[in-house]
Amino acid sequence: MIIVLLGAPGAGKGTQADKIHDALSLPIISTGNLLREAIASGSDLGKLAASFMDGGGLVPDELIIDLVKEKLSMPEYNGGCILDGFPRTVQQAEALGKAVDIDVALSIEVPDEVIEERMVGRRTCPKCQTTFHIKSNPPKKEGVCDKCGTTLGIRHDDELEVVDRRLHIYHQLTVHVKEYYRARGTLKEVHGQGTIAATTELVFKALGIEL
């Protein structure tokens, strides 16, 4: 099964991807996480990616399409996967459609005004990339990742100015990806402005997963 998760920055794609992974044991391919790992490793790809990501822009399609295709060709993704943050442009969606069949594209809908609060309070593990929120999803021990014990940090692109730019790009480009999947009958939409648990319930219902 291949699930595409769509939604604005901060809509909860990463949070819900983890819940689906726990329920279905499907591996996650998060392009944002892959790029942040490349940045942390100091690779050429990372340096190039950072030049786009730090300002809230998108990394060029060719680069990201090659990265995802390479991942999808690995045996661990033979049984399917959850795609978090890809595709983000119609060109990426078309390239993905040529490579694999998508079962469902699930869009998590959250109004822009809710996003700001989420980004300001987000804390991210620089090692395993698990996300927390100081109010809505705090770690068990303040400032420390529940999963791997690493000190949590704040993403460079979570500054409000950059968040605004990311939201702008989402409304300009990524919304068309929703229409791409709607036209193919694979789009499902859920409200994501409730609690994490309430959203998980809607996500599982849309995907036919029993709680």
Which of the choices ligand AP5, Mg ion, none does residue 10 contact, using the CB cut-off of 5 to 8 A by kind? ligand AP5
* Prior bond of 87 cis (ω within 30°): yes
Of the listed pieces 10-18, 20-28, 47-55, 144-152, which binds Mg ion according to CB under 5 A?
10-18
Which of 100, 137, 144, 188 forms a contact with ligand AP5 (CB under 6 A)? 137
Please tell me whether residue 28 binds ligand AP5 under the rule CB under 6 A. Answer: no
- The one catalytic residue among 36, 88, 118, 123: 88
Residues 143-202 that bind ligand AP5 (CB under 6 A): 157, 166, 192, 194-196, 199
Which of 59, 81, 93, 203 forms a contact with ligand AP5 (CB under 6 A)? 59
**Residue 93, Ramachandran bin (φ over 0: left; ψ between -120 and 50: alpha; else beta):** alpha
123: annotated active-site residue: no
Please tell me whether residue 14 binds Mg ion under the rule CB under 5 A. Answer: yes
For 15-166, strand residue ranges (E) read 28-30, 81-84, 104-109, 122-124, 131-133
Residue 114, classed as helix, strand or coil, is: helix
141: annotated active-site residue: no
Eight-class DSSP state of 76: G
- How many residues belong to the site for ligand AP5 (CB under 6 A)? 38
For 188, residues 6+ apart whose C-beta sits below 8 A from its C-beta are 104, 105, 106, 107, 206, 207
Which C-beta is closer to ligand AP5: that of 2 or that of 64? 64
**Chain position whose Cβ is nearest to ligand AP5:** 32
Please tell me whether residue 12 binds Mg ion under the rule CB under 5 A. Answer: no
Q: Which of 22, 98, 31, 33 is nearest to 67 (CA)?
A: 31
Q: Phi, psi at residue 152, to the nearest 5°?
A: -75, 155
Which of 15, 46, 82, 180 forms a contact with ligand AP5 (CB under 6 A)? 15
Please tell me whether residue 86 binds ligand AP5 under the rule CB under 6 A. Answer: yes
Residues noted as catalytic: 13, 88, 122, 155, 166
